[in-house]
Structure 1
């Protein structure tokens, strides 16, 4: 039997890839099909929509009550002509059906029909030839041009009363966008009375990320493949970092396998953090696509607003690419945030990327001959860097509001030199926490930004350093405060570091930047 692997490219094949069953990811879909209803499965890119459709069709065909087939709409994606799009899709569907239909079902011949009626005629003919009620799963509804999609919707609505003898009993669609958003941002149709995508009378099913239980099921494949012992804390950490995003779960596991180097034993939090940093360093696949999309000025500006808590809502259209990618999520109260800690860390790395040209190269001065982190030298290196470049970075857009992220980019050199940045989080809650480990030494940082009308952040920050040191079980800590108030003296004049006492009596370093 072929050994299965963790897949990050294209739909899963359960025979070759570790896969979460569709029926567990889309609760209620079986009841919708039994009722003869239609549904739209919507989720961001690379979250398993096509995999879920293929698995659902496979289950239905094995059970033998229905004939189920997945048909891609994407062959019509580049075409604005209804005539050309219909012909392209129907030609491609013959190959889809040849690959996936059960052995007792023949690939139908499409009947001749006029433009604008070919899809309906084909589905009607297929339904009449099929030995059992037909379930059709159409993948990529959002990929079609508006007029082509409107024509498809009309034909399906017209055929629905003929079910089940002369039209599919149930039709499912997969789409990046939910129906009410599908036509947003596209040019109006020239067709009189264009059909809305919401006119499908279909149940909308959001495809959620993996649950913790589903992540644990997938990670059991990691145990089988590597011999690493899966501890509950490791499952929690993978789910926390990815929030169950299917691509990220699989990509992170791939990096865990690479980093294990054949080692047996328990999978620790440090192993997972190293895998996360390796994933962010090497990127690839969807992470590269996010980097490419972030070159768009509107999306970039919207992400900066989210990261820095600028008190205004980014325009909805500026956020569209981020939502479609799954990079950004919108909560029930309407606020937007980055979808998970890995995407948060990726954006934090990519936004201040232009400042890396001013970073020194070679072995960092804060790494001693024994490979241990020297916290005093690390502090000196950052103060020197910020003294020389802080004013220029503050005065430039977007880095004036992203100074904590510039610090993160600076500290990423710890990873490059063999160290570990354990966590970066909580920017959206008014602070950023970082734990740096290298060669057995460690330092914890709490990073805060002071803006106009903000209270003095130092008392709260000192208590937060106490909390971080106690949680991490280490002694060295810094509180770094970036002052963004108008009228403050230049960085070169106000920059400094001094010893301070925390409420618990710990002696830490206060950095005023």
Structure 2
């Protein structure tokens, strides 16, 4: 929870705002959202629910199929996470009347009306949806928000994903392109879940040291910071390589040396782990390719004439840092990305 501005999140929820929370893949976003849900529910002020919608991705422009899957995630999420089965009782009748273009909104409205606390809904993997299904979801959320307070609805809806809603490019079945910002123009704020600080990165490893007594060469930690710059997946993956994949290090009396660290780093880079392999997919996107290519040419100033939205998008993906100077986000990415860029072109 330390990677979020919890004070701002509480303010936005109390002010009945809907907002976006986004972070690169495999950075602990889902576990953070689940922790948020628990904190809000334990406060006694709200009924908070986390739900994922990735299962509806395959529906694409089959709005009925996609929205049935999303409604199902809402209904079963409430039943399983909150032990609230009322939505199961309402689902069939609501779908019969409102179908794919209104059932999700109407279920939320009925729940808000019947519930004794304001509802906070966290919808994860929203940007995994495509086409008309995504448009239907965003517009139902917007309609419900606009209808308040005359028509009950969730107090706050938090859209979660890899990208900010402004970066959604939605291709409809009629060959139109609609931006997420226009389909969901009620966003009050866009919050990005950051990486670990250098102190937080070292504190994570200190936990292992305290629990096991295993000694780490202090020279490792400056290298770890340069290699990862706190990128959560990389920080955890390096720890796993060091203390488990290296079978000798499973004996906790074995100290971890700088040489072992460097060997673990090379193993990780050449393992083509899922996280690193996914970089190739992102590098195929034209605007990502354009930004990264200019940075790799060795001149951060060369990006000065590029659209700011493109730079923000690539930063949101976790591929670059813009301050204090614009550069590839960390040393491991600086080694992996040029190779992937070559393979993908």
TM-score, structure 1 normalization: 0.55
> Which piece of structure 1 moves more, 167-176 or 212-221?
212-221
Change (3 A) 1:302 1:201: closer
CA deviation profile, 1:286-331 (whole Å, cap 9, x unmatched)? 11223566678996676454323278559779989966653x2252
Distance 1:143 1:351 in 2: 23
Q: Is the 8 A contact 1:242 1:249 kept in 2?
A: yes
CA deviation profile, 1:425-448 (whole Å, cap 9, x unmatched)? xxxxxxxxxxxxxxxxxxxxxxxx
CA deviation profile, 1:326-373 (whole Å, cap 9, x unmatched)? 3x225269x85321111112234556779xxxxxxxxxxxxxxxxxxx
The alpha carbon displacement at 1:41 in A equals 0.4
SS of residue matched to 1:46: coil
SS of residue matched to 2:87: coil
Q: Map residues 346-385 of structure 1 onto 2, 5 A cutoff.
A: 346-350=336-340
> Which piece of structure 1 moves more, 298-307 or 200-209?
298-307
Partner of 2:120: 135
Structure with more of its chain in helix, by fraction: 2
Q: What is the aligned counterpart of 1:180 among 166, 175, 187?
A: 166
Q: Map residues 295-310 of structure 1 onto 2, 5 A cutoff.
A: 303-309=292-298
Partner of 1:30: 10
Q: Is the 8 A contact 2:138 2:183 kept in 1?
A: yes
Partner of 2:109: 124
CA RMSD for the aligned pairs?
3.7
Q: What is the aligned counterpart of 2:55 among 75, 90, 115?
A: 75
1:203 aligns with 2:194: no
**Which one has a bigger Cα radius of gyration?**
1
Partner of 1:450: none
TM-score, structure 2 normalization: 0.79
Distance 2:211 2:255 in 1: 14
Partner of 1:343: 333
Partner of 1:468: none
Q: Is the 8 A contact 1:25 1:210 kept in 2?
A: no
Unaligned runs of 5+ in 2: none
> Which piece of structure 1 moves more, 342-351 or 123-132?
342-351
Partner of 2:253: 264
Structure with more of its chain in strand, by fraction: 1
The alpha carbon displacement at 1:135 in A equals 0.8
Q: What is the aligned counterpart of 1:282 among 264, 271, 278?
A: 271
Partner of 1:162: 148
CA deviation profile, 1:371-420 (whole Å, cap 9, x unmatched)? xxxxxxxxxxxxxxxxxxxxxxxxxxx9xxxxxxxxxxxxxxxxxxxxxx
Higher relative contact order (CA 8 A, sep 6+): 2
Unaligned runs of 5+ in 1: 1-21, 355-397, 399-513
Change (3 A) 1:87 1:197: same
